[in-house]
């Protein structure tokens, strides 16, 4: 069913693109006067009529196949109620209906066979056909991957519409032009040659613009749907995009040959024949591109897929930080590349000895790349760019702590310092991709056994979250009780706030809205401070702060334990407090600690008593003009 789905989608998209391009080519060429050119014009219209039939037929089969895929039942394709539901009750179905309605109108319009002897009528007929075909093609974007991007769907759809229309102008124009060149290259079509040459030159200019538009909109689409180099290399969607680029290379080579060698030799019959063949070849390659695009449409977008890194290595600038001895080599390589590029630019300006300068410049660039990149090469694994299964959450870190104590602490020590082993809290470990640590943890590394047979995937990610928290806790030692304006770097692990039997909320619910003063308290030592916070809660609330109190001894009757006077009205965590305490005590040990978390979700100050003068620190956060971006929910 998937193959049928793909085949019909490809046929449908290709026929719609050919339709649109055929009429754009006819309009580019202008109204024909010579008999051969008129026959070509009429032939294109006849051909377009059949394309409408193909587009409608393949569109209907595509709809049936898609219904079966949506319903996950092959028989659903033949059930009128299921098909009706797919058309009328889904957004892609409504778009399908609108597009096919336009195709029906276009088909009827072409079938009328109106008299176009007058220029005005010819222009109106061909222009209307182009308009209807363009609308039918452009609406494809309304139910594409681009339409599902949020936020920014409007820009993504606009880029996709431009991309689709550019494809139509270029691909459809190619085939129509090949037919014209073939018709006029023989002796019988000699009268139409000036028309064909003019059409080819106009199309050449239009195709150049269309190609530039295609590349620009394609880059925008890739940025929106692929997002990263790892996703480009490591997902099916990304690899299809690479395949498209690979097919584009010979197309561009053919286009350059056509534009620079063959077009100037026109209207020689040989040149016209050769151009017809090359243009047809270019169109065939373009149809392969449409096939790849159709496959991409049915593939999970790269930004949603887990990348599987295909190479045993990757480049990492972190090496320069971890191994200072490599800096000179990277610097040298960089300088050689710069000199090489400058020499290449100079070679464009000089006339004498241009070739040796160019060769030397290229050699310098290659040498520089080799010298400069060699030390940056580090080992990589299929999971190097994998996104963690679980978020950076206190429950995950606490669970990771339990797993760590049972399986890892024996060698790495309870703090992660690990004696002769790598310090898990070090900046070098903090800079390693989470996916790499996941691979090493799963498959083992020199001296360390594999854990994929002992720990579930979620447990391994829990341990990685713990390792990240250990590193963060180490750097958190430099964080004082005073907020440093503009310096937000310590991500606060998320946690659930459960008050009694009420539905839990989360720390991240406060993002963008309120600062949070997280209070880890122990009774009776924290009593006086909690009373003070209870009395100033209204003031804190007005200044944008929510107080969340977490008892370190985690009783379920924590609220009752605090008593009625003064009334404590801020949330007191009664369930899950142990996870929060386990996690946040890594950042702030002691029986009583307070952590000020800004609106973006970063820990900005830590103190263990009331001397932090909370209002003064809150004032500093309120005065910050440009908040940092929200931290990612997952570690990297």
Partner 1 sequence: MPVWQVVLVLNVVFAVGLGLGYAGWGRRVAALDRDVDAARAQVERLERERQACAAGARAGEQQWEGRGVVRAAYPQLLIITHEEIRGLLPARTTSFRAASPTLRETVRVGDPVRFALRGTVLDDAAVVAIARW
Name the residues that contact partner 1, by CB under 8 A. Answer: 105, 109, 112, 114-116, 118, 120-125, 127-128, 131, 499-503, 505, 557-564, 567-569, 571
Beta pairing, strands 545-551 & 593-597:
unpaired
C-alpha 615/C-alpha 547 separation (Å) is: 12
- Are the C-beta atoms of residues 330 and 376 closer than 8 Å to each other? yes
- Are the C-beta atoms of residues 578 and 398 closer than 8 Å to each other? yes
Rg (CA), the chain: 33
CB 568, min distance to partner 1, A: 7
- Are the C-beta atoms of residues 549 and 519 closer than 8 Å to each other? yes
C-alpha 220/C-alpha 33 separation (Å) is: 42
* Closest to 432 measured CA to CA, from 471, 480, 473: 471
Cα 273 from chain centroid (whole Å): 43
CB 520, min distance to partner 1, A: 19
- Residue 594's DSSP bridge partners are 519, 607
CB 614, min distance to partner 1, A: 20
Cis omega (within 30 of 0) for bond into 187: no
CB 517, min distance to partner 1, A: 16
Beta carbon nearer to partner 1, 467 or 558: 558
Beta carbon nearer to partner 1, 458 or 560: 560
Task: Determine how many CB atoms are found less than 10 A away from the CB of residue 411.
Answer: 12
- Are the C-beta atoms of residues 293 and 13 closer than 8 Å to each other? yes
Beta carbon nearer to partner 1, 127 or 444: 127
CB 237, min distance to partner 1, A: 35
- Are the C-beta atoms of residues 596 and 604 closer than 8 Å to each other? yes
Beta carbon nearer to partner 1, 114 or 346: 114
Find tokens 């030592």 and name the residue: 525
Beta carbon nearer to partner 1, 125 or 490: 125
CB 543, min distance to partner 1, A: 17
Beta carbon nearer to partner 1, 575 or 624: 575
C-alpha 172/C-alpha 422 separation (Å) is: 61
Beta carbon nearer to partner 1, 72 or 115: 115
Torsional sign, CA 157, 158, 160, 161:
positive
469 burial level (CB within 10 Å; 0-12, 13-18, 19+): buried
C-alpha 294/C-alpha 404 separation (Å) is: 47
CB 561, min distance to partner 1, A: 7
C-alpha 449/C-alpha 144 separation (Å) is: 46
CB 375, min distance to partner 1, A: 55
CB 251, min distance to partner 1, A: 35
Rounded (5°) CA angle 419-421-426:
90
Which secondary-structure segment (H or E) carries 505?
strand 505-506
Beta carbon nearer to partner 1, 234 or 571: 571
Beta-strand runs (E) in 147-250 = none
CB 71, min distance to partner 1, A: 27
CB 354, min distance to partner 1, A: 56
Beta carbon nearer to partner 1, 106 or 232: 106
Beta carbon nearer to partner 1, 54 or 105: 105
Find tokens 């459960």 and name the residue: 498
* Closest to 125 measured CA to CA, from 116, 133, 134, 117: 116
Which secondary-structure segment (H or E) carries 452?
none
Beta carbon nearer to partner 1, 126 or 182: 126
Beta carbon nearer to partner 1, 486 or 555: 555
* Closest to 480 measured CA to CA, from 581, 628, 611: 611
CB 516, min distance to partner 1, A: 15
């Amino acid at each position: 069913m998937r193959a049928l789905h793909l085949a019909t989608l490809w046929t449908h998209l290709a026929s719609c693109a050919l339709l649109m391009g055929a009429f754009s080519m006819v309009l580019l060429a202008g109204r024909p006067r010579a008999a051969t050119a008129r026959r070509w014009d009429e032939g294109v219209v006849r051909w377009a009529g059949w394309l409408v039939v193909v587009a409608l037929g393949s569109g209907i089969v595509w709809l049936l196949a898609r219904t079966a895929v949506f319903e996950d039942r092959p028989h659903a394709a033949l059930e009128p109620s299921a098909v009706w539901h797919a058309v009328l009750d889904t957004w892609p179905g409504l778009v399908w209906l609108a597009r096919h309605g336009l195709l029906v109108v276009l088909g009827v319009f072409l079938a009328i066979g109106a008299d176009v002897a007058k220029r005005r009528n010819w222009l109106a007929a061909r222009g209307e056909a182009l308009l209807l075909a363009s609308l039918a093609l452009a609406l494809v974007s309304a139910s594409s991957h681009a339409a599902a991007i949020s936020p920014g769907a409007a820009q993504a759809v606009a880029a996709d519409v431009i991309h689709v229309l550019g494809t139509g102008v270029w691909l459809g124009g190619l085939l129509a032009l090949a037919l014209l060149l073939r018709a006029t290259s023989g002796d019988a079509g000699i009268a139409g040659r000036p028309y064909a040459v003019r059409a080819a030159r106009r199309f050449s200019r239009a195709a150049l613009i269309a190609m530039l538009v295609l590349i620009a909109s394609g880059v925008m689409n890739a940025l929106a749907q692929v997002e990263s180099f790892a996703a480009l290399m490591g997902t099916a969607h990304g690899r299809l995009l690479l395949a498209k680029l690979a097919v584009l290379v010979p197309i561009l080579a053919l286009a350059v040959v056509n534009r620079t060698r063959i077009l100037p030799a026109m209207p020689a019959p040989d040149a016209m024949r050769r151009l017809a063949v090359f243009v047809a070849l270019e169109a065939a390659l373009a149809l392969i591109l449409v096939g790849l695009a159709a496959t991409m449409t049915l593939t999970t977008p790269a930004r949603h897929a887990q990348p599987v890194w295909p190479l045993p290595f990757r480049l990492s600038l972190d090496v320069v930080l971890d191994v200072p001895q490599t800096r000179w080599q990277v610097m040298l390589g960089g300088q050689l590349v710069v000199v090489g590029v400058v020499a290449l630019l100079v070679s464009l300006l000089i006339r004498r000895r241009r070739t040796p300068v160019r060769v030397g410049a290229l050699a310098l660039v290659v040498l520089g790349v080799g010298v400069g990149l060699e030390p940056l090469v580090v080992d990589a694994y299929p999971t190097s760019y994998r996104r963690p299964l679980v978020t950076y959450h206190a429950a995950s870190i606490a669970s990771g702590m339990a797993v760590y104590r049972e399986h890892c602490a024996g060698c790495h020590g309870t703090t992660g310092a690990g004696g002769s082993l790598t310090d898990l809290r070090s900046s070098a470990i903090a800079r390693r991709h989470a996916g790499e640590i996941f691979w090493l943890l799963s498959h083992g590394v020199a001296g360390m056994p594999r854990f994929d047979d002992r720990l579930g995937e979620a447990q391994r990610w829990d341990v990685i979250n713990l390792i990240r928290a250990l590193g963060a806790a180490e750097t958190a030692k430099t964080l004082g009780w005073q907020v440093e304006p503009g310096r937000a770097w310590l991500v606060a692990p998320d946690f659930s706030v459960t008050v009694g039997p009420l539905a839990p909320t989360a720390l991240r619910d406060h993002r963008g809205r309120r600062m949070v003063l997280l209070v880890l308290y122990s009774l009776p030592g924290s009593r006086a401070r909690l009373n003070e916070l209870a009395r100033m809660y209204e003031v804190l609330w007005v200044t944008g702060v929510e107080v969340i109190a977490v008892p370190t001894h985690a009783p379920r009757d924590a609220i009752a334990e605090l008593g009625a006077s003064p009334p404590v009205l801020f949330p007191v965590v009664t369930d899950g407090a142990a996870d929060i305490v386990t996690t946040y005590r890594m950042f702030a040990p002691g029986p009583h600690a307070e952590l000020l978390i800004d609106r973006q979700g970063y820990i900005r100050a830590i103190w263990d008593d009331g001397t932090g003068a909370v209002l003064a620190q809150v004032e500093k956060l309120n005065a910050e003009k440009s908040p940092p971006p929200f931290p990612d929910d997952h570690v990297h």
